[in-house]
Structure 1
């Protein structure tokens, strides 16, 4: 549960937090780990992921990022959720057939999830420092937690699509992108909760109100974004993510009901547990 009771009191040792040798050592270790990870990815990424396909997910602009953030944080104001194809008559599910994120705000991207993941790790460490609870291992622990949540979530939805016989399920990169958008909501929840405490009107009630709004925004965003994967016969609108964009094929009513139930459980029940877990910093 998001935790802030009453006003926020800065820890007495925070004045020397930045100059603390232990804190500096922790940040140096974190930077070294990031540099080593970047070098490893550059050397081995091509073995597992198509670089050209990956570039598609990072093909963003400043205007796209701002528009996407508005959609993520205020999804109830969006009317159109389906993705646009370069060739509307195409029948292949290749990502190259879709317009890149810069040209379609409904296209999943990897830029926002990546930046949100890094920001969440740094923000969690900063908040721990403000409370005087920083230790060098915290960066590694927080990064492991965030990545573990993402991998577990991808495993859940991949298992669900397999059990529901969705052979044209979303591409792996699409799932990684959608699983990463929750970090935007978690970051906003943490910032607003701590800000309200610093201003003197924080508390358990305010904390829960902020958290529940961010949670519902994320759940509704996923519910509408992924419905074109699990419910592909939505009035001929086609696939909104990854899979086969050919529209109009139907599934049995019982299968459709199971897919609807899974989509609801994934968007609300699973996301509630993960976001609550990530918010306990």
Structure 2
């Protein structure tokens, strides 16, 4: 019972297990030293399939980039966003105070326009894009202020004001409505200008992106007018908006005049005279005059 007879209750299999594991390792040989799937990758058919799949993926990427660049010119968009802080500050000052600026011609280098950060007269999309976003946020702030201002007046006037503005009370959905409304008006404006240029047959290098940039500059004046109205009241809104409307009219007139009249005259020589020249001048003035109209239309309801 005390184990003196030499019998063991359990066999010592440690030696056996070590020998068995060594035999298994020796039997596995070089396969265990490799990685999983090595036998599959060594198959020529698998290598051919992987090469064919990689080729298809490369061709698909090239086709997608080519078609995407056809509808959305990514390479051209990089030019319109090539700005820096100094350019943005000067361009904002030019949009508000364009009266002292003299040279409005766009600089070229080897028949290619210089990047906006090197030329103040070059159009960009950074200021219009940031102006559009800021306008939507300021509009939301103005609508929220209108909703809260009912408690600052008498009870009877507050009741009448609530009934009058029941359809205009602030909600988060109004930001989307305001943004979509401004975007639709912007697209309609650009399409109308493109149609007018086609009907008048103006020879110019103005692109759709250029027109989008020029049309988007009016958001700067709209923001100035709304902010002034929120801080100082409706009279400040009218005065500041009037100043910004006059400034954008001067800016658009002097900018588009070089694009529509000078380039057409250079392309057609002395033939650009009389009625056709006057028609191009009227078109330039109409595009410039449309900016104050849109500025007032998109901001007058934001000031109480």
Q: What is the TM-score when the length of structure 1 is the normalising length?
A: 0.71
Find the partner of 2:127 among 102, 112, 117.
112
Q: For the Cα contact (< 8 Å) 1:164–1:258, is it kept in 2?
A: yes
What's the offset of the Cα at 1:248?
A: 6.5
Give 3-state SS (helix, strand or coil) of 2:170's partner. Answer: coil
Structure with greater helix share of residues: 2
What's the offset of the Cα at 1:143?
A: 0.7
Partner of 1:123: 138
What's the offset of the Cα at 1:273?
A: 2.0
What's the offset of the Cα at 1:84?
A: 0.3
For structure 1, which segment, 216-225 or 132-141, has the greater mean C-alpha deviation from structure 2 after superposition?
A: 132-141
Find the partner of 2:82 among 42, 59, 63.
59
Partner of 1:23: none
For residues 262 and 139 of structure 1, the distance between their equivalents in structure 2, rounded to whole angstroms, comes to 33
Deviations 1:179-236 (A, max 9, x none): 1000001000111122112xxxxx4x443222211111111111111111211259x9
- Which has the greater radius of gyration? 2
Q: For the Cα contact (< 8 Å) 2:206–2:259, is it kept in 1?
A: yes
Q: For the Cα contact (< 8 Å) 1:233–1:249, is it kept in 2?
A: no
For residues 214 and 77 of structure 1, the distance between their equivalents in structure 2, rounded to whole angstroms, comes to 15
Q: Runs of 4 or more off by more than 6 Å in structure 1?
A: 246-249
Give the root-mean-square deviation of aligned CA atoms. 2.2
For residues 102 and 211 of structure 1, the distance between their equivalents in structure 2, rounded to whole angstroms, comes to 28
Distance 1:56 1:248, change over 3 A: farther
For structure 1, which segment, 123-132 or 108-117, has the greater mean C-alpha deviation from structure 2 after superposition?
A: 123-132
The higher-RCO structure (CA 8 Å, 6+ apart) is: 1
For residues 111 and 206 of structure 1, the distance between their equivalents in structure 2, rounded to whole angstroms, comes to 28
Give 3-state SS (helix, strand or coil) of 1:77's partner. Answer: coil
Distance 1:129 1:45, change over 3 A: farther
Q: Is it true that 1:165 corresponds to 2:201 in the alignment?
A: yes
For residues 85 and 46 of structure 1, the distance between their equivalents in structure 2, rounded to whole angstroms, comes to 24
Alignment gaps of 5+ in structure 1 = 1-41, 91-96, 198-202, 239-245
Distance 1:249 1:135, change over 3 A: farther
For residues 78 and 207 of structure 1, the distance between their equivalents in structure 2, rounded to whole angstroms, comes to 25
Find the partner of 2:191 among 155, 161, 165.
155
Equivalent residues in 2 for 1:137-148 (5 A)?
A: 137-148=173-184
For residues 268 and 255 of structure 2, the distance between their equivalents in structure 1, rounded to whole angstroms, comes to 16
Q: Is it true that 1:225 corresponds to 2:240 in the alignment?
A: no
Q: For the Cα contact (< 8 Å) 2:90–2:120, is it kept in 1?
A: yes
Distance 1:127 1:83, change over 3 A: same
Find the partner of 1:271 among 291, 296, 302.
291
What's the offset of the Cα at 1:130?
A: 1.7
For residues 65 and 187 of structure 1, the distance between their equivalents in structure 2, rounded to whole angstroms, comes to 16
Q: Is it true that 1:71 corresponds to 2:107 in the alignment?
A: no
Alignment gaps of 5+ in structure 2 = 1-64, 148-168
Deviations 1:86-141 (A, max 9, x none): 12xx3xxxxxx100101101000000000000000111011111222321210110
Q: What is the TM-score when the length of structure 2 is the normalising length?
A: 0.66
